Chains A and B, each alone.
Chain A
Amino acid sequence: MSALAAPPAGATAPKPSPSRRRPGSGIRRGEGAAGWLFTLPVILILAVFLLVPVLMALWVSFSDWNGRGSPLSSGVHFVGLQNYAATTTGGGLAERNFGLALRNNAWYVVFVVPLQTALSLFLAVLVSRQVLRGRGFFRTAYYFPSVTSSVAITVLWLFLFSASGVVNAIIAWFGGNGPNWFSDPRGLWAVVAGWFGMTTPPAWLTQGDFLGVSPWEWIQGPSIAMSAFILMAVFTTSGTFMLVFMAAIQNIDPALAEAGMIDGANGWQRFWRITLPQLRPALFTVLTLGLIGCWQVFDAIYTGTQGDPGKTTLTPAYLSYQASFNDNQWGIGAAIAFILFVIIIVFTLFQRWVLRDRPVSQRRIRAYQPKAARQNGATR
Chain B
Amino acid sequence: MTRHTARVATGAGAIAVVAALALTGCGSGFSSDNSSKGASDLTSSNKPLTVMIGSSGDAETKAVTDAVDAWSKKSGVKASVIAATDLQQQLSQGFAAGSPPDLFYQSSDQLAAFAGNGSLKAYGDDLKNKSDFYPSLVKTFTYDGKFYCAPKDFSTLQLVINTDLWQKAGLTDDDVPSTWDQLAADAKKLTSGKTKGLVFNGEYARLGVFMAQAGGRLVSEDGKTAEANSDANVTALNYVKQHLNDGTFAFAKDVGAGWGGEALGKQLGAMTIEGNWITGAMSADYPDVKYKVVQLPAGPSARGTLQFTNCWGMAADSPNQKAALDLVEYLTTSDQQLAFSKAFGPMPSVESAASTWKSDNAALVPFLTGVAYAQSVPTNAGASDVVNDFNSQLATLKTSDPKTILDSVQKNLEAVVK
Chain A positions near chain B (C-beta within 8 angstroms): 23-24, 32, 36, 40, 43-44, 47-48, 51-52, 55, 66-70, 72-73, 75, 92-93, 96-97, 162-164, 180, 183, 185, 307-311, 324-328
Q: From B10, B113, B255, give the contact of A328 (CB < 8 A).
A: B113
Chain B residue with the shortest CB-CB distance to A309: B395
Q: From B6, B22, B119, give the contact of A68 (CB < 8 A).
A: B119
Encode contact with A along B44-60: 1 for CB under 8 Å, 0 otherwise.
00000000000000000
Q: Which of B23, B26, B382, B385 has the most CB of A within 10 A?
A: B385
Q: Which of A32, A96, A310 has the most CB of B within 10 A?
A: A310
Whether A36 and B14, one on each chain, are in contact in the complex, defined by CB atoms closer than 8 angstroms, is: yes
Pairs of residues from A and B, 9 with the lowest C-beta to C-beta distance, nearest first: A163-B256, A70-B30, A66-B117, A183-B253, A23-B3, A328-B113, A47-B18, A311-B392, A310-B392
Knowing A69-B31, A69-B98 touch, does A326 contact B384 (C-beta < 8 A)?
yes
Chain A residue with the shortest CB-CB distance to B391: A308
Chain B residue with the shortest CB-CB distance to A93: B412
Please give 5 more A-B residue pairs, beta carbons under 8 A apart, in addition to A47-B22, A69-B96, A96-B389.
Answer: A23-B2, A36-B14, A67-B119, A328-B113, A328-B381
Which of B87-95, B283-291, B332-340 is near enough to bind chain A?
A: B87-95
Which A residues are CB-close (under 8 A) to B117? Answer: 66-68, 328
A66 to B114, CA, bound (A): 9
A73 to B119, CA, bound (A): 15
Knowing A68-B118, A328-B113 touch, does A44 contact B2 (C-beta < 8 A)?
no
Q: Is B415 an interface residue (CB 8 A)?
A: yes
A32 to B92, CA, bound (A): 44
Q: Which of B10, B31, B113, B388 has the most CB of A within 10 A?
A: B388
Whether A93 and B395, one on each chain, are in contact in the complex, defined by CB atoms closer than 8 angstroms, is: no
A24 to B4, CA, bound (A): 12
A92 to B416, CA, bound (A): 10
Q: Is B15 an interface residue (CB 8 A)?
A: yes
Whether A40 and B30, one on each chain, are in contact in the complex, defined by CB atoms closer than 8 angstroms, is: no
Which B residues are CB-close (under 8 A) to A73? Answer: 27, 30-31, 34
Chain A residue with the shortest CB-CB distance to B412: A93
Q: From B30, B92, B396, give the contact of A324 (CB < 8 A).
A: B92
A73 to B27, CA, bound (A): 8
A96 to B88, CA, bound (A): 24
Whether B18 and A43, one on each chain, are in contact in the complex, defined by CB atoms closer than 8 angstroms, is: yes
Whether B34 and A69, one on each chain, are in contact in the complex, defined by CB atoms closer than 8 angstroms, is: yes
Q: From B6, B88, B113, B396, give the contact of A32 (CB < 8 A).
A: B6
A72 to B34, CA, bound (A): 14
Least CB distance from B364 to A in Å reads: 30
Which B residues are CB-close (under 8 A) to A67? Answer: 92, 95-96, 117, 119
Chain B positions near chain A (C-beta within 8 angstroms): 2-3, 6-7, 10, 14-15, 18-19, 22-23, 26-27, 30-32, 34, 88-89, 92, 95-96, 98, 110, 113-114, 116-119, 253-256, 381-382, 384-386, 388-389, 392-393, 395-396, 412, 415
Return 20 A-B CB contacts under 8 Å, by A number.
A32-B6, A43-B18, A52-B18, A52-B19, A67-B96, A67-B117, A67-B119, A68-B95, A70-B26, A70-B27, A75-B34, A96-B389, A163-B256, A185-B392, A308-B395, A310-B393, A325-B89, A326-B384, A327-B113, A327-B384
Whether A310 and B395, one on each chain, are in contact in the complex, defined by CB atoms closer than 8 angstroms, is: yes
Which B residues are CB-close (under 8 A) to A66? Answer: 116-117
Whether B392 and A93, one on each chain, are in contact in the complex, defined by CB atoms closer than 8 angstroms, is: no
Whether B396 and A185, one on each chain, are in contact in the complex, defined by CB atoms closer than 8 angstroms, is: yes
A212 to B7, CA, bound (A): 49
Chain A residue with the shortest CB-CB distance to B25: A48
Which B residues are CB-close (under 8 A) to A96? Answer: 389
Knowing A66-B116, A70-B27, A162-B256 touch, does A183 contact B395 (C-beta < 8 A)?
yes
Chain B residue with the shortest CB-CB distance to A24: B3
A24 to B34, CA, bound (A): 53
Least CB distance from A335 to B in Å reads: 16
SS class of chain A's interface: helix, strand, loop or mixed? loop
Chain A residue with the shortest CB-CB distance to B394: A310
Which A residues are CB-close (under 8 A) to B386? Answer: 93
A93 to B416, CA, bound (A): 10
Chain B residue with the shortest CB-CB distance to A314: B392
Which B residues are CB-close (under 8 A) to A43? Answer: 14-15, 18
A96 to B31, CA, bound (A): 36
Chain A residue with the shortest CB-CB distance to B386: A93
Which B residues are CB-close (under 8 A) to A163? Answer: 255-256
Least CB distance from B408 to A in Å reads: 9
A310 to B15, CA, bound (A): 45
Which A residues are CB-close (under 8 A) to B7? Answer: 32
A230 to B119, CA, bound (A): 40
Whether B384 and A309, one on each chain, are in contact in the complex, defined by CB atoms closer than 8 angstroms, is: no
A93 to B409, CA, bound (A): 10
Which A residues are CB-close (under 8 A) to B381? Answer: 328
A282 to B26, CA, bound (A): 42
Least CB distance from A313 to B in Å reads: 11
Which A residues are CB-close (under 8 A) to B22? Answer: 47-48, 52
Knowing A32-B7, A43-B18, A55-B19 touch, does A328 contact B114 (C-beta < 8 A)?
yes
Least CB distance from A190 to B in Å reads: 11
Least CB distance from A75 to B in Å reads: 7
Whether B30 and A69, one on each chain, are in contact in the complex, defined by CB atoms closer than 8 angstroms, is: yes
A92 to B408, CA, bound (A): 10
Knowing A52-B19, A183-B395 touch, does A92 contact B32 (C-beta < 8 A)?
no
A32 to B6, CA, bound (A): 10
Whether A51 and B15, one on each chain, are in contact in the complex, defined by CB atoms closer than 8 angstroms, is: yes
Whether B23 and A72, one on each chain, are in contact in the complex, defined by CB atoms closer than 8 angstroms, is: yes
Whether A70 and B18, one on each chain, are in contact in the complex, defined by CB atoms closer than 8 angstroms, is: no
A92 to B413, CA, bound (A): 10
Whether B34 and A325, one on each chain, are in contact in the complex, defined by CB atoms closer than 8 angstroms, is: no
Whether A326 and B392, one on each chain, are in contact in the complex, defined by CB atoms closer than 8 angstroms, is: no
Whether A185 and B113, one on each chain, are in contact in the complex, defined by CB atoms closer than 8 angstroms, is: no
Whether B92 and A328, one on each chain, are in contact in the complex, defined by CB atoms closer than 8 angstroms, is: yes
Chain B residue with the shortest CB-CB distance to A312: B392
A24 to B381, CA, bound (A): 62
A322 to B253, CA, bound (A): 23
A67 to B30, CA, bound (A): 12
Chain B residue with the shortest CB-CB distance to A182: B253
Knowing A47-B15, A180-B256, A183-B395 touch, does A93 contact B385 (C-beta < 8 A)?
yes
A164 to B393, CA, bound (A): 24
Which A residues are CB-close (under 8 A) to B395? Answer: 183, 185, 308-310
Chain B residue with the shortest CB-CB distance to A96: B389
Q: From B3, B18, B88, give the contact of A325 (CB < 8 A).
A: B88
Whether B14 and A92, one on each chain, are in contact in the complex, defined by CB atoms closer than 8 angstroms, is: no
Q: Which of A36, A48, A67, A75 has the most CB of B within 10 A?
A: A67
Least CB distance from A22 to B in Å reads: 8
A75 to B396, CA, bound (A): 44
Which A residues are CB-close (under 8 A) to B118? Answer: 68
Chain A residue with the shortest CB-CB distance to B413: A93
Which A residues are CB-close (under 8 A) to B26? Answer: 70, 72
A324 to B113, CA, bound (A): 12
Whether A327 and B382, one on each chain, are in contact in the complex, defined by CB atoms closer than 8 angstroms, is: yes
Least CB distance from B15 to A in Å reads: 6
A32 to B8, CA, bound (A): 11
Which B residues are CB-close (under 8 A) to A310? Answer: 392-393, 395-396
